[in-house]
Structure 1
Amino acid sequence: MEQNIDDGSDVSSPAGVDLASAEAWDDVECRPSSGSGTLARVGRVMLLVGSSDPAAVAPLLGQAELVAANGGQGRQLARGYALLLGTTTVDTPDFVALAPHDTGLALIVQGDATVTVNGTEYSGRESLAWVEKLVPWPITSLEAKVDGAAVPSAHLRLGAGVIAAGGFTLGVRAPSEEGLEVPRALEVPAPVAPADPAPAPAPEPAPAPVLAKAVAEPAPAPVAPAPPAAAPVAEPAPAAAAPVLAKPAVDRPAPAPLEDHIGGFDSVLLRDLEDEAPTPLPIIGDERDVAPSEEHGEHPEHVRGVYCKNRHFNDPRQLFCGICGINMVQQTPVLVDGVRPPLGVIVLDDGAVFQLDSDYLLGRDPGSDERVRSGEVRGVPIQDTSNQISRVHARLELRGWDVVLIDNASTNGTYLNLPQSPGWQRMQSGGSHVLVQGTRVRIGHRTLAYNSHAGQ
């Protein structure tokens, strides 16, 4: 949060902006208002929720983080929240969500929340469901509220993060303003070695004994003890500081990251391959001769999704079909029930590949868990000579269209390396994280990567 001290007065009208394109959205200034709601700025997504209950805010904030991780596209924002509202079984608090698009600003409003853009108010209070809108550029004014008593403040700024607020307005960031800004990405700080202690002040130089000798004859007796005070000059100062400098820095116990080993790739020309006539497929004369498919298991899970023009079932938040790659942006999404396809694969560092069509337990001995023995979930044994992997270390759960990694309160922890992130982050014990395309996971000294159909 940036906080600039102006005259301390409040303003009652929306701040003026001049947003002519999606690129200008990143430099816009968010000015929060006091209130009983929750305001979040995650990447290119702004979310205002009319509740401060963590259980009610968490699903909406998780959706904002997912959209921000995929680039913060406006159309994906509307589709993601529409899917969340269409599939949830609990009451969702009033909220406003915003994200830029190439042709305008995408917004979705639920309940009594209001957002006023360029003088036009949008609200879900008179709608049977929710309101979606793509307001074309330019944007000259914007104000959002979930608390009728919210009044924008003249000296508060939100750069990134989550705070308590009842509304917000947009303004232009002044280059000359000085303030404290919350970093856009919160990362675990690396351990820092203690600073070297300041060297002790050197005692008076050696001329003191010479002066004492010259003054010894005419001066009174009290002056004579001065030379013993300068005697410590003979001891070198670095000797006393050496034990402090030699003390090793204390660091948190964490397994050292392993370098990725990528095997070579050999290319060949198709004409160099031996021509072998493929075996023709058998002709089916009766549909009763076709065995039932086990692609989706005995009990396939039905989810809400959309079909592309080629009739492939997809996550409604995706802009391109995960099967044929056709663009679905211009297609009007129609949510229907369907069998959920596999959500991608998990690739271990030894080349083993596991298709994500069911839940998995990862660990040294996942077969010891009753859920694996009963067939409820599948087990993936992961061996490591470092003995840092628990018997049931972590699990992968399929929730709707998301793949969620959950740490099973492991002893040595589960680490994540997010796309475009320079380092590893340790998950909270028992915590969960929605995986995105390209996320890497470290368990002990073993790593695995998540690849989704959306990244193909």
Structure 2
Amino acid sequence: MRDRQVEVVLGSHAVARVAGAVIVVAHRGQGKLTPGDTAAVALESLAELVRDAHEQAPSGPGSVVAREATRWLMKYAEQISPGVPIDFGVLSAADNGGVAIFLHGSVTAVLADDRGPEYYRGSDAAFTVDRVASEPAKAVALFVDDAKGRIPDLPPERGIGWLVEGIAQAGGAVMWSNDVRSRVRTAEPVGQTRRPPPPTARIDREPRAAQPDSRPSEQPATGMQPATSMLDAVTGTAHGTAGTPVADPHNAETRLSGTNPAPEPDPDLQRRLEATAKSTVLAVKVMGFKCARAHPSDPRSAFCTVCGMPVDQTQALAEVVRPPLGMLVLDDGMTYLMAADAVIGRDPEHSDAAQRGLVPLRIDDTSGGMSRAHAEVHLVNWDVQLIDRGSTNGTRSRHPGYRDWVRLTPHQPMVLIPGTEVMIGNRVLRYEPAAPPPFG
């Protein structure tokens, strides 16, 4: 994607082109964007993340970007902007030659071809949009939604502006297809450790003014979007090491690694999960505590379930909206954020559990040992319970620190604790907490 013309449109948000990828971060403050603003700080952090992802997978960093951006949201976003969500989007190359789209919050991706535009809206997703699309014939763009949820239309024709590398203040960016210019920089050698100096924008002309939006207004986006997505696709982990926490996404030495190849996540599965997650909202209320940042938290934990900060254990219990209770990390690196009851299997979409409203989590299995609807996950108060549905080959679990697998009693719930591994067929999932380690 380095050879594509990237044209910016007029606006006040933060836009960057880094290692061929395009990043857009919403600037919600008043006045001109400054280096100390939240959007600028977040953009620099995300730019570093994208550079590292490009070093790991120079031919297609999209899946690495999605994995690290998800972890960035869970660990670093709260530190950069306490209590206020950061809306951003990233366009990068997918390993299959398409375009990888990652969105969080009020940011929209637009794919334009001869059939007309196609929209992917971060505000519609429960947590994130993580999609891989074929490269459109005309352009793919990222825009920040306005206060009424609207986005501008694509420019009617290509201009001459060209953001080669660096940061610009704009309302969004358009990556035009099938346009190669000789002055585009060549890719950096793989393995290069030297970091470039702080980027500066290189633009041929003033940003293009956004075209008026003819679509009807939508309700304004308010507050943090419900974190109910179970669809963050990631790759690169080996069997037996899935879900190992990453200490710092900016340090290549601490990333997930393995020696055995793992199957690639299924893009079709991602689309099905996203469609299901759009209809899922955080509405379950339980008794709990709130941390100093007003996050709801498990009253049995000394640290916040959302941000990892200490919680005052002397406060009175209050009714709170329950946040996601953790992640199931599959052996190929795909993660499912546990925000609603779910049914797991090789074809759970048509099961009775899915008809009752459980989120279907389909997992490919080549062993023949996984049932169509093999097991269920239920969120009960602050606990995550796993139930084998009476499957033919059973469900096995292994607590952290133990070598042996234990077969679950059918239809009897088992409470998952962080680090527990679950074997279904020949696939292994690991339960991890959603919050970062204490004190971030």
What is the TM-score normalised by the length of structure 2? 0.38
